[in-house]
Structure 1
Amino acid sequence: MSEAGASVMRQWRARATPEGALAYRAHLSGSVLPQLQALAGFRGVALLNRQVAGEVEITVQTRWESMAAIAVFAQPDLEAAVVEPAAAAVLLSYDDVVTHHQVILEG
């Protein structure tokens, strides 16, 4: 999926209450991010929030060097979402699957 020099964006979505979204942010930054930063091929994360009818739609985009780097984090099923119990506890709902996108332009 990834060409030489390109990267892969792994995207996942969830919904939470406003309080749950804050708790998820704390979990991501305090627990998940340090684990990801220790993995070879991890290039960064973006946490996006959008208010929708009193809830918060959460989008997490992690950037990786390659699908092989993602495999270290997400095996055996690269399409399955990796959701820790602490994260699931503060979310109203979340996608069970992720999408992968080749990054073809960054600025």
Structure 2
Amino acid sequence: MYPAHFVQNVIPAIQKVDGFLSADLLSREFEGKIEYTVISRWKSMDAVKAFAGENPSLAVIEPGAVAALESFDDVVIHYEVAVHVS
């Protein structure tokens, strides 16, 4: 349910945001439920702030995602890439 929403709604909207690079939706079964994690990549923290607002630690959850998920985290954690291998 959420993967379809992510592909059809979240990705097209976020791709329009200046500074967005890419996103992955990860999933795993945990305690009998499916848990999703989104990893997004941005050009800079300024780009993240332009998308998320002045407090980028607050999760941006649009109404369609709220409807598609049983629960979600209200906060996010930001990391800088220390090493990238592809």
TM-score of the superposition, structure 1-length normalised? Answer: 0.75
Q: Tell me the matched-pair count.
A: 85
Q: Which stretches in structure 2 are left out of the alignment for 5+ residues? A: none
Structure 1 residue 53: deviation in Å?
A: 2.0
Task: Name the counterpart of 1:77.
Answer: 55
Q: Which stretches in structure 1 are left out of the alignment for 5+ residues? A: 1-22
Q: Note if 1:65 corresponds to 2:65.
A: no
Superposition pairs of residues 42-53 of structure 1, within 5 angstroms: 42-53=20-31
Percentage identity across aligned positions? 42
Task: Name the counterpart of 1:7.
Answer: none
RCO greater where, 1 or 2, for CA within 8 Å and sep 6 or more?
A: 1
CA–CA distance in 2 between the matches of 1:58 and 1:80? 17
**Structure 1 segments of 4+ aligned residues over 6 angstroms from their partners:** none
Q: Which amino acid aligns with 2:84?
A: E
Q: Which amino acid aligns with 2:59?
A: A
Query: Residue 80 of structure 2: SS of its match in structure 1?
Result: strand
Out of 91, 97, 101, the position equivalent to 2:69 is 91
RMSD of equivalent CA atoms = 1.0
CA–CA distance in 1 between the matches of 2:57 and 2:48? 10
TM-score of the superposition, structure 2-length normalised? Answer: 0.91
